[in-house]
Structure 1
Amino acid sequence: MKLKKLMTAVVFGLSLGSALVAADNNMGSMPGMDTKESAGPVQSRGVITAINTEKRKVTLNHEPIPELSWPSMTMGFSVAPEVVLDGLSKGDTVVFILTPSGKGQQVTSISKQ
């Protein structure tokens, strides 16, 4: 009986893992994720939920962005090399500009609100 439960859990875990990978890979099909469809640059407001100055990444809980057909959501973005991140921290409300870059959007300006 324990072996049957274990095998069921393994099969479920493998199925779930594949589904999560497929879902992540399909993020590019969201409007605005592919730069061929992207409006830009676009400005929005949000709250920093995570920031990594060394890797130049910021995670923002942003308002809807109608130009990209995006609802409010939390997303991670790369930050352009010329953008100064000093003085920004988790919990800050910010205004930022996204510019198409590669297969997504990159933060090209960010400042505290």
Structure 2
Amino acid sequence: MKLTTLALSMTIGFVTIPALAIADEPMPPMSGMASGQSVDAVDSTGVITAIDPESRKVTLSHEPIPELKWPRMTMGFPVDPGVNMEAVSKGDSVAFTLTPTKSGQKVTRIEKQ
């Protein structure tokens, strides 16, 4: 019984000590994500894959956005109340502007190309 307890204690120590050492290391930067720098409004192009005028949201399959360090991807965005969502529909190729908010980015301009 004492041997089992000793073996278990040593195993826990061997696992815990390296984990605690790793916790003190700084986290490396996440590639593909925007840095802590403030970025003003950015322009891009893409295709509307979904649109919901009632909730004022649009899903865009957009080109890379170097200013935000974003690769080409599909993602949803809230749309500013001043943007006319009736001028565009699902499947349209569009030019748009993203403006930073406290919770991410929002579309502040969208035009059919």
Structure with the greater relative contact order (CA < 8 A, sep ≥ 6): 1 or 2? 1
What's the RMSD between the two structures over aligned residues?
1.7
TM-score by length of 1: 0.68
SS of the equivalent of 1:71 reads coil
Give the gaps of 5 or more residues in structure 1: 1-28
- Give 1:76's aligned residue: 76
Percent same amino acid at aligned positions? 58
Q: Which has the larger radius of gyration?
A: 2
Amino acid at match of 1:101: T
Q: 1:38 offset after TM fit, Å?
A: 4.2
Q: 8 Å contact 2:62–2:72 — kept in the other structure?
A: yes
Which 4+ residue blocks in structure 1 deviate beyond 2 angstroms?
Answer: 29-32
Task: Write out aligned runs for 1:29-40 (5 A).
Answer: 31-32=33-34, 37-40=37-40
Deviates more, 1:65-74 or 1:85-94: 85-94
Task: Write out aligned runs for 1:1-113 (5 A).
Answer: 31-32=33-34, 37-113=37-113
SS of the equivalent of 1:49 reads strand
Amino acid at match of 1:102: K
Give the gaps of 5 or more residues in structure 2: 1-29
TM-score by length of 2: 0.68
Q: 1:102 offset after TM fit, Å?
A: 1.5
